[in-house]
Amino acid sequence: MENKLNQINHYNANDIQILEGLEAVRRRPGMYVGGTDIKALHHLIYEVVDNSIDEALAGVCNRISVTIHEDDSVTVEDNGRGIPVDIHPERGISALQVVMTVLHAGGKFGGGSYKVSGGLHGVGVSAVNALSEWCEVTVRREGKIYFQRYERGIPQAPVKQIGTYKGEETGTSTTFKFDREIFKGDVNYRFDTLVTRFREMAFVARGVTIMLKDEREDREMTFHFEGGIASFVRYLNRNKEVLHEPIYGEKEIDNIDIEFVVQYTDSYAESVYTFANTINTIDGGTHLTGLRTAVTRSINDYARKVGLLKDSDPNFSGDDTREGMTAIVSIKHPDPQFESQTKVKLMNPEVQTYVQQVVGDTFSTFLEENPAAGKAIIQKCLTSARARDAAKKARDLVIRKSALESMTLPGKLADCSERDPSKTELYIVEGDSAGGSAKQGRDRHFQAILPLRGKILNTERARLDKILDNREVKSLISALGTSVGDTFDISGLRYNRIIIMTDADVDGAHIRTLLLTFFFRYMQPLIEEGHLFIAQPPLYRISSRNQIYYAYSDTEKDELVAKLGGMNKVSISRYKGLGEMNPEQLWETTMNPENRTLLQVTIEDAAEADRTFDMLMGSQVPPRRRFIQTHAKEVRNLDI
């Protein structure tokens, strides 16, 4: 009797504290889950799953399932130890209730039995509970099944035993329905967003099975990767041409688990993922610095040793060794230090030393033992270094030139009279004759024309670093006014729209690819900020009864002919090039903002051009075959 009274007293005292805590979360969700938008909504699921992942990292859980139900509630179930349910000595209530209702109690509760802990914002499941219209937890522990229900964080009854079970399997099942009073508007979970996150988690927490089921649309996906991050790198490179097998290393130093994998491809991008206790540290940190330093150092040492870098050559820079590198570094630390609450950057200084040591040893040994791979990696770095060097020279030249000639614009540029760059357009036109038509046809108030001599670019067929040295490209750079590469500065941009206008034939496609590749590699922000376009000249000119019509595709032509041809004579001519159009026609069909269609170039378009460029310009592998193979591979979510 006395015992029971005691419990009630404690409960009341705690009650007030708990209510205040939960209320704080509901009043300022931003402080706890980063807001009330769709991103924060997904954080609710991650927060719960992170607790299950903690169990997996502790080696006591290998299965996690996440189910989105038709009413938008979500169940996260694991086969971990189960949240303890015994009475918490200080608070006099079930530990389960403490975990679910007291901020910061979650994973850390229980005397730091964890080696590591993920917990995204460290606030634990109680914040999720507070932001849920309702939440129910079922725990299986020591043969008994326990249950508690909450509404807007408030327990509806004490934790209750609701049954027993046979067998060994303990675990926790949490179902919550996010509160539409908090998450307003038409927000909901996105299957694909969750897929990406859980795939990543399954790679990093090797051997754990994560199941995702969406009952709203009857979709399901399961992730399990025995290969861990080595599988991750294969997955990331699935559509790329790899230069060697993944280089993998793992070591525990000073109670910190370090795991990394590196694989070079023939692409230009760097693709690096870093994790600390399975949290994707998108801003990197000391683990990333350690990895990069070690890779650059190992490559330089090896290149000198085998004579691919001569005494007179400078070392490869970090930028040189980064191009084409796909890498993952994942550490598990008992006491991770993050730059901020949102945990996107790892700060522990010792991690840099340890990662550098593990990566350096493994990478150097790999290069020694795999000379063919070593040579391929170094060739790749040499190409990157050369391109960077050429870009710098081109840039210096542009800068020097503009300093000397006080910003003289290239002679071939027909500039516009408008001086406000937000109102102007630059047409990059293939060939001098089309350039002539465009100059006459344009609205010279806001449209500028820069003719490029197609032949030069096309016949040169050189590497991009050569192309940067090309006279035509140099005039393009100075016309744009932004500089290139590292010193690119969008504030110098002299035109709001840059429009590539080429013939609709093979040569035109080549020049377009080349220009897109150039913009992709040296002026990326220009694409990202939506300044780059492709003009759409018509393919056919159709005349009937003294009227002229234009068709921009074969389908359009067929439709027009069918419509007009019923009663009249129709004559069709196919435009072979822009030069065949007179200035008025070019204006009407392709340049007049009232009539024209422009295709805006996305970064994906440009990246695609970049890949095509490599293929067209040729490398050692037969390009056609490579191109087809690359595009034939399928995405799979099994170990690849």
Determine if 81 is a binding residue for ligand 0RA (CB under 6 A). yes
In angstroms, the CA 222 to CA 231 distance is 15
Residue with tokens 């349910």: 85
Our CB check for ligand 0RA shows the closer of 75 and 274 to be 75
Our CB check for ligand 0RA shows the closer of 114 and 366 to be 114
Contact 192, 172 (CB under 8 A): no
Question: Taking the CA of residue 542 as centre, how many other CA atoms within 13 Å lie in the half-sphere pointing to its CB?
Answer: 22
Does 614 participate in catalysis according to the annotation? no
Q: Nearest approach, Cβ of 254 to ligand 0RA (angstroms)?
A: 24
DSSP 311-340: TTSPPPPHHHHHTTEEEEEEEE-SS--BSS
Our CB check for ligand 0RA shows the closer of 109 and 273 to be 109
Exposed, middle or buried by CB within 10 Å (0-12, 13-18, 19+), for 214?
buried
Does 605 participate in catalysis according to the annotation? no
Exposed, middle or buried by CB within 10 Å (0-12, 13-18, 19+), for 263?
buried
Among 14, 36, 52, 424, binds ligand 0RA (CB under 6 A): 52
Active-site residue identified among 430, 588, 610, 614: 430
Among 109, 232, 427, 518, binds ligand 0RA (CB under 6 A): 109
Our CB check for ligand 0RA shows the closer of 174 and 482 to be 174
Active-site residue identified among 250, 507, 580, 608: 507
Does 323 participate in catalysis according to the annotation? no
Type of residue numbered 362 = T
Q: Nearest approach, Cβ of 23 to ligand 0RA (angstroms)?
A: 23
Binding mask 88-107 for ligand 0RA (x = CB under 6 A): -----------x-------x
Contact 57, 45 (CB under 8 A): no
Active-site residue identified among 86, 142, 181, 505: 505
Of the candidates 38, 356, 367, 348, which has an alpha carbon nearest to the alpha carbon of residue 186? 38
- 638 forms beta bridges with none
SS3 content of the chain, % helix, strand, coil (to 5): 45, 20, 35
The kind and range of the H/E element at 388 are: helix 371-404
Contact 485, 457 (CB under 8 A): no
Among 55, 259, 425, 430, binds ligand 0RA (CB under 6 A): 55
Determine if 126 is a binding residue for ligand 0RA (CB under 6 A). no
Contact 215, 69 (CB under 8 A): yes
Does 507 participate in catalysis according to the annotation? yes
Q: Nearest approach, Cβ of 84 to ligand 0RA (angstroms)?
A: 5
Contact 448, 435 (CB under 8 A): no
Residue with tokens 């170094």: 378
Binding mask 172-211 for ligand 0RA (x = CB under 6 A): x---------------------------------------
Question: Which among 109-117, 160-168, 240-248, 345-353 is the span making contact with ligand 0RA, rule CB under 6 A?
Answer: 109-117
Active-site residue identified among 78, 503, 610, 614: 503
Our CB check for ligand 0RA shows the closer of 77 and 241 to be 77
Give the footprint of ligand 0RA on this chain (CB under 6 A). Answer: 51-52, 55, 78, 80-81, 83-84, 99, 107, 109-110, 113, 125, 172
Enumerate the active-site residues: 430, 503, 505, 507
